[in-house]
Amino acid sequence: MEVFENISLAPKTTMRIGGSARYFAELKTKEDVETAWKFRTEKNLPLVILGAGSNTVFPDEGVEALVVHINNNSSENNGDKIRVGSGKFLATFISEMAGQGLDLSALAGIPGTVGGAVFGNAGQGPKGIWIDSFLTGVEVFQDGKWKTFLKFECGFGYRESRFKILPETIIWEAVFSPPKREPREIEKEIKKLLNHRKETQLFGRTAGSCFKGLSDGTPAWKLIDAAGLRGYKSGGVQISEKHANFLLNFEGKGTYEDAVSIVDKVRTSVPGLKEVEMRFFEKNGKVRY
């Protein structure tokens, strides 16, 4: 494992916002993970874990931390169980499984990696299907040790998992048991969901959903829209006109403080909407929201 210094983080996130990481490393093997943990321990640094950067915003002054990018893209089919590396893009994994007649189509269109999706228990809303519907277990590196958690030990809920409470936990692999279905039918369903997302959601210099919807099923975008904040701007960042729960770095000149300003505006303007889905890091490597 090679450790780099002062690596720009903006190109590694979908919003294209942020300064540099004091240290940065790619983790491809378990040995890399152990080496990275030893490095951050010796340097007394926070550990920041990065997947596809599709829900992450870094401060413009950068972070004094070891930022590690999870690059474990392995996958292994053991019959009724599929073991996949957390660095694999979720879209790629869904497509690969479809070709084998294994149905994960309900997750189609969710951005990011398998690890990120497990971390936030990604899915289709509070009344829909989440990734834990297909999981049987997770292998992680936590507090300097390798650990395996069965699904019931992961604390999954609506957009929740035990790993959110322990953000320095490295999710390394996940084990799935998808239902079987005709590949042609799976691909048809994937196409349908992707077309719907293209019509209703945003792509480009943006991120996934900014706010967590309410537990009664009310989506965050409806509440933001009702408060008259659709299209609201702060500097170079805007609440999308197309989907009111998406932030857009609309000219590529948005800053961390622009994005924070919008989040704070929504939190003070919309009763009950406080939980932020995106991860806003501070310079010290801690999560602001």
pLDDT tens digit sequence for 252-279? 999 999 999 999 999 999 988 989 999 9
Higher pLDDT, 204 or 248: 248
CA torsion 50→259→237→252, rounded to 10°?
-40
Which residues are paired to 142 by β-bridges? Answer: 145
Read off the amino acid at residue 222: K
Report how far apart, in Å, the C-alpha atoms of 244 and of each of 178, 200, 239 are: 32, 10, 6
Q: What letters, b where the CB count within 10 A reaches 16 and e where it falls short, cover 140-165? A: bbbeeeeeebebeebebebbbbbbbe
Q: Is the pLDDT of residue 125 over 70?
A: no
Is 175 in contact with 186 (CB distance < 8 Å)?
A: no
Distance CA(281)–CA(193), nearest Å, equals 31
CATH fold match for the domains 75-198 and 202-280: no
Average pLDDT estimate for 78-100: 96
Model pLDDT, residue 196 = 86
Mean pLDDT, to the nearest integer, of 4-32?
98
Catalytic residue among 159, 234, 240, 282: 159
66 — pLDDT class (breaks 50, 70, 90): very high
The CATH architecture one would assign to domain 75-198 is 2-Layer Sandwich (3.30)
Q: 242 by DSSP, 3-state: which?
A: coil
State residue 56's pLDDT score: 97
Mean pLDDT for the chain overall: 95
Give the C-alpha distances (Å, rounded to integers) separating 150 from 153, 156, 163, 174.
5, 11, 13, 10
Cα gap 194→231, rounded to integer Å: 24
Question: What average pLDDT does range 111-134 have in this prediction?
Answer: 90
Q: Which residue has the higher pLDDT, 199 or 158?
A: 158
CATH number at 3-70: 3.30.43.10
- Of 209, 234, 240, 282, the active-site residue reads 209
Average pLDDT, integer, range 64-75 = 98
Give the amino acid at 210: C
Rounded average pLDDT over 9-24: 98
Q: Catalytic one among 34, 64, 96, 275? A: 275
pLDDT of residue 257: 98
**What percentage of the chain reaches a pLDDT higher than 90?**
89
β partners of residue 8? 20
CB 202 within 8 A of CB 242: yes
Give the pLDDT band (50/70/90) at residue 126.
low
CA-to-CA distance for 243 and 22, rounded, in angstroms? Answer: 34
State yes or no: pLDDT of 19 exceeds 70: yes
CA triple 230-231-235, angle to 5 deg: 135
> Given a cut of 90, is residue 58 above it in pLDDT?
yes
Question: Which residues does residue 57 pair with via DSSP β-bridges, in sequence order?
Answer: 280
Measured between alpha carbons, how far is 170 from 135 in angstroms, rounded to an integer? Answer: 17
What confidence tier does 70 reach under pLDDT thresholds 50, 70, 90?
very high
Confidence of residue 248 (pLDDT cuts 50, 70, 90): very high
| Cα(178)–Cα(175) distance, integer angstroms | 10
pLDDT score of 194 more than 60: yes
Q: What is the pLDDT of residue 162?
A: 96
Name the residue ranges covered by the structural domains of the chain: 3-70, 75-198, 202-280
Fold for 202-280, please state it: 3.90.78
- The SS3 of residue 236 is coil
What is the structure's pLDDT at 127? 59
Q: Do 49 and 168 touch, CB atoms closer than 8 A?
A: yes
134: Cβ contacts below 8 Å, ≥ 6 apart = 104, 107, 176, 177, 178
275 is catalytic: yes
